[in-house]
Amino acid sequence: MDRFEAMRLFTRVVERRSFTQAAADLALPRSTATEAVQQLEARLGVRLLQRTTRSVAPTLDGEAYYRRCLKLLDELDETENAFRRASPRGELRVDVQGALARRFLLPGLPAFLATYPELRLRMTEGDRLVDLVAEGVDCVLRLGTPSENNMAARRVALLPEVTCAAPAYVERRGAPASPADLARHRMVGFARPDGGWHPLEVTEGDAVRQVQVPADVVVSSAESSLAMGLLGLGLIQVPRYRADEHLASGALVEVLATHPPTPTPVHLLWPRDRQLSARTRVFIDWAAERLKAAG
């Protein structure tokens, strides 16, 4: 294993906090990964990793060496790509918000992969913000405004939102005519990390209000939120593109139409301290173009 390959392996071990997972990512036997890092430490004359039975973490020297490796490997990749003028290649790992991806990205995916035939796409989905470095993800697609200062972000859409409920719910509790009416209503809560749920958002003139409405049901996924709303278990706020079909069929009715929530931004995120690889860059540009239709 040459020096650059050893560096690439070492950075993956640091990011994954595991020899086993790093070796799997690079299609290497675990024994080869362990031996290569040991040889690297011997050559440098420093201990780079602190190993326990459960995890692997960089030492202070290891953290410093990791940062330098990232810079060197990024420059190497960019230099080679600039001179080879090759099509982006290798495995691209992305994590997406499922409903958004299925609506706007997946229909165009065959053409994207045909344009870049040497790319291999691994796509996972969820509503939580993954740890890109620790989980080996290149970029994520997320709703909302990112709060992590270690992430670079590109806003790619603004999604109009709608407040709605099932007809059975409206028959049971009535339709709120103003934000003041929400005091006697229930919502389907969308879980927050602190154990609570996100409030409903309403506009009154130029002002935006957050209204905490009681919830008999709290969920942690956008799919479940919509499903619970369709079952009549409370008011929901969802992107209009997801509600349009149900509003047209009568399965949902819009409420508080004169006090709508503000649009929700959609961002593509990637680690700030990393130079974008060619494969990540082409995916971000393609996804941004596809998501123009969302806003």
Is residue 129 packed enough to be buried (19+ CB in 10 Å), middle (13-18) or exposed (0-12)? middle
CA-to-CA separations, 265 to 117, 146, 216, in angstroms, rounded: 31, 10, 28
Q: Which of 116-125, 139-148, 153-162, 186-195 has the lowest mean pLDDT?
A: 139-148
Residue 129 has pLDDT above 70, yes or no: no
- Between CA 222 and CA 215 the distance in angstroms is 16
Q: For residue 7, which amino acid is it? A: M
Q: Which domains does the chain have, with CATH numbers?
A: 3-84 (1.10.10.10), 90-159+265-294 (3.40.190.10), 161-262 (3.40.190.10)
Percent of the chain with pLDDT strictly greater than 90? 51
Percent of the chain with pLDDT strictly greater than 70? 93
**Mean pLDDT, to the nearest integer, of 189-204?**
92
CA-to-CA separations, 15 to 23, 25, 44, 137, in angstroms, rounded: 12, 11, 20, 10
Question: Against a cut of 0.85, is the pTM above it?
Answer: no
Residue 135 has pLDDT above 80, yes or no: no
Residue 170 has pLDDT above 90, yes or no: yes
Reported as a single tens digit per residue, the pLDDT across 2-19 is 888 898 899 889 888 889
Per mean pLDDT, which of 90-104, 137-151, 214-228 is the most reliable?
A: 214-228
At residue 142 the predicted structure's pLDDT band, cuts being 50, 70 and 90, is confident
Residues whose CB is less than 8 angstroms from the CB of residue 227 and which lie 6 or more positions away in sequence, other chains included = none
The predicted structure's pLDDT at residue 131: 64
The predicted structure's pLDDT at residue 197: 95
Is residue 210 packed enough to be buried (19+ CB in 10 Å), middle (13-18) or exposed (0-12)? exposed
Closest residue by Cα to residue 294 from 40, 78, 96, 112: 96
- Between CA 284 and CA 138 the distance in angstroms is 10
| Structural contact between residues 121 and 92, judged by C-beta atoms closer than 8 angstroms | yes
Residue 265 has pLDDT above 70, yes or no: yes
